[in-house]
Amino acid sequence: MLARAKLNLSLHVTGQRADGYHLLSSLVAFADVGDEVRIEPGQKDTLTVDGPFANAAPPLAGNILGQALAMVRRWNLDALAREPLSIHLTKNLPVASGIGGGSADAAALVALLTAGRPLSDSEMADCLSLGADLPMCLTGRSAIVGGIGEENRPVALPETHVVLVNPGAEVSTPAVFKALPDKTNAPLPPWVEPRDFAELVTCLKTTRNDLMKPAVRLVPDIQNCLKALADAPFARMSGSGATCFALLETESGAENLAGRIQSAHPNWWVQAGRLST
């Protein structure tokens, strides 16, 4: 199952809870670029990993996939989860990079183990405590997200192509939130469904990613990624970084831009794809 990259097209930080988690008002979308999670019955629980970022993936016990498996077993409803499992992960997405890779992997495993059945409120709450991005990854649809990630209102987006760029720096999400001086910013403006790509870009230009400035202070290379994407109609950082994205109207536009950036920066992770609508 494809564990798709999550992009925060906009990310406004609107407050902070007493437990330290931040309240968000975020427009989220998913790209058709992602990790791959497969399961089959095994003799004992195992995790094998391949793919370009395999070395960054911890073993099962320390991996969010191990925690997701234990969580579904605690629910004690899903026959598949009761047997020893051989899990295989193809790690295509850079880790700690603002595109929800770990949460997407966990969401894919939960969906496989529960055969896509609807989750109860308490099961969703368990998912949220495993990763704030997990509920949105389980839904897997473009949405306006609130709370710390648990409120999810699906929205429709026009056909949109994307280029993702990561300079190869892992970013600590808590460190970026900590470096944000003002935690009480205005939420997203009221949502008006964009009729086409141009309207989406106009709408996004009235929004922000509040984590961008603190992330750039911690990882100055993010600025270079944004510069490389600056010719596109719209570019921004996702989540707490360091992955940045550009939005383009056509597939060929996205592929051309990705090709140019990859040639100029052979060490960067660069991917062209399409947003799921």
- Any idea which residues carry the catalytic annotation? 6, 133
Residue 151: both structure tokens together:
């409120």
# chain residues binding ligand C5P, by CB under 6 A: 12
Nearest residue (CB) to ligand C5P, 5 versus 24: 24
Rule CB under 6 A: choose which of 106, 110, 119, 132 binds ligand C5P: 132
Contacting range for ligand C5P; rule: CB under 6 A; set: 73-81, 127-135, 195-203, 247-255: 127-135
Cα(75)–Cα(126) distance, integer angstroms: 10
Tell the smallest beta-carbon distance from residue 177 to ligand C5P (Å). 4
Q: Return the residue of 22, 91, 161, 236 that touches ligand C5P, per CB under 6 A.
A: 22
Stretch of 19-27, 136-144, 163-171, 221-229 lying at the interface with ligand C5P (CB under 6 A) = 19-27
Contact flags string 134-153 toward ligand C5P, x per CB under 6 A: --------------xx----
CA 24 to CA 234: how far, in whole Å? 21
Nearer to ligand C5P, 131 or 194 (CB): 131
What is residue 213's three-state secondary structure? helix
Considering the rule CB under 6 A, would residue 27 count as an interface residue with ligand C5P?
Answer: no
- Among positions 105, 123, 126, 133, the unique one binding ligand C5P when judged by CB under 6 A: 133
| Interacting residues of 204 by C-beta distance below 8 A, sequence separation 6+ | 9, 10, 27, 234, 236, 247
Q: Does 28 bind ligand C5P (CB under 6 A)?
A: no
Nearer to ligand C5P, 166 or 240 (CB): 240
- State yes or no: residue 173 binds ligand C5P (CB under 6 A): yes
Cα(201)–Cα(231) distance, rounded to whole angstroms? 14
d(CA 41, CA 65): 16
Task: Report the distance separating Cα 58 and Cα 55, nearest Å.
Answer: 8
Stretch that binds ligand C5P, among 84-92, 152-160, 170-178, 202-210 (CB under 6 A): 170-178
Closest CA to 91 of 140, 54, 128: 54
Tell which one of 174, 181, 190, 266 touches ligand C5P (CB under 6 A).
Answer: 174
Nearest residue to 276 (alpha-carbon basis) of 176, 172, 158: 158
Q: Would you give the binding string for ligand C5P spanning residues 107-126, x where CB under 6 A is met?
A: --------------------
In contact, 171 and 10? CB cutoff 8 Å: no
Assigned token pair, 222: 């993010």
**How far apart, in whole angstroms, are the C-alpha atoms of residue 195 and residue 80?**
42
Which residue, 21 or 268, has its beta carbon nearer to ligand C5P? 21
96: contact with ligand C5P by CB under 6 A: no
121-130 helix and 64-75 helix, angle to the nearest 10 degrees: 160
DSSP H/E element including 10: strand 2-16
Residues near ligand C5P, by CB under 6 A:
20-22, 24, 131-133, 148-149, 173-174, 177
